[in-house]
Amino acid sequence: MKQKALFLDRDGVINHDPGDYTMSAEEFIILPSVMEALVLAQSKGYSIFVITNQGGIAKGLYTHETVAIIHESLHRTCQEWGVEIKRIFYSPHHPEFGNSLTRKPERLLMERALARYNLDPSTSVMIGDRERDVQCAAQVGVRGILIPTNSPLLDVVRTLE
């Protein structure tokens, strides 16, 4: 049986989006209610994934190593709450420096997640704060939910089946 997934954008959904880029671990601040939302989503049977554009790498603003440190911090916090993020997929590309099928709204990262983890797109959901998040989800048959940047994730997760 295929698993249902909760796909989340990172900046502005999981952590505070300062308006440009989250360029360091110090700037990575998990939004209020996010951990409660992840606990609830997991209790509803969702496998949790993060799909995020990290174009600041292509722009030279930060490195893959910086992203790894931020993601390790997120994994540690999740472990403390008993939450498992199955995988964080990110695209280091930016359109100013070339095109990539991994960068949302393109769908390659979501396709990889769906295939590798035997996920059911029809019962899965993508929550993002940009139109490109919803467009990406729609291309693979996943329902997209657009939320305001830095808004309470728990409010949306409560509405999920």
For 88, the 3-state DSSP assignment is strand
Is residue 133 included in any domain, yes or no? yes
Asked if 145 contacts 126 with a C-beta cutoff of 8 angstroms, the reply is yes
Assigned domain for 153 exists:
no
| pLDDT(1) > 90 | no
Residue 93 forms part of a structural domain: yes
Strand partners for 128: 146
pLDDT in tens, 60-69: 999 999 999 9
Task: Tell me what the pLDDT averaged over the chain comes to.
Answer: 97
- Is 155 noted as a catalytic residue in this protein? no
* Per-residue model confidence (pLDDT) at position 98: 84
Contact between residue 119 and residue 7 where contact means Cβ atoms under 8 Å apart = no
Which one from 9, 17, 129, 133 is the annotated catalytic residue? 9
46 found inside a domain = yes
* Amino acid 104: pLDDT: 97
Of the listed ranges 57-71, 72-86, 95-109, 128-142, the least confidently predicted one is 95-109
Query: Per the domain annotation, does 150 fall within a domain?
Result: no
Our answer to whether residue 20 is catalytic in this structure is: no
> Within a domain: residue 161?
no
In a domain, 155, yes or no: no
Q: Which two tokens stand for residue 132?
A: 């490109």
In a domain, 31, yes or no: yes
- The average pLDDT across 48-71 equals 97
pLDDT band at residue 120 using 50, 70 and 90 as cut-offs: very high
Q: Which of these is catalytic: 11, 17, 129, 133?
A: 11
- Domain hosting 68: range is 5-145
How many structural domains is the chain composed of? 1
| Residue 113: band (very low, low, confident or very high) from pLDDT cuts 50, 70, 90 | very high
Domain containing residue 96: CATH number: 3.40.50.1000
Closest to 3 in 3D by CA, of 142, 136, 96, 102: 142
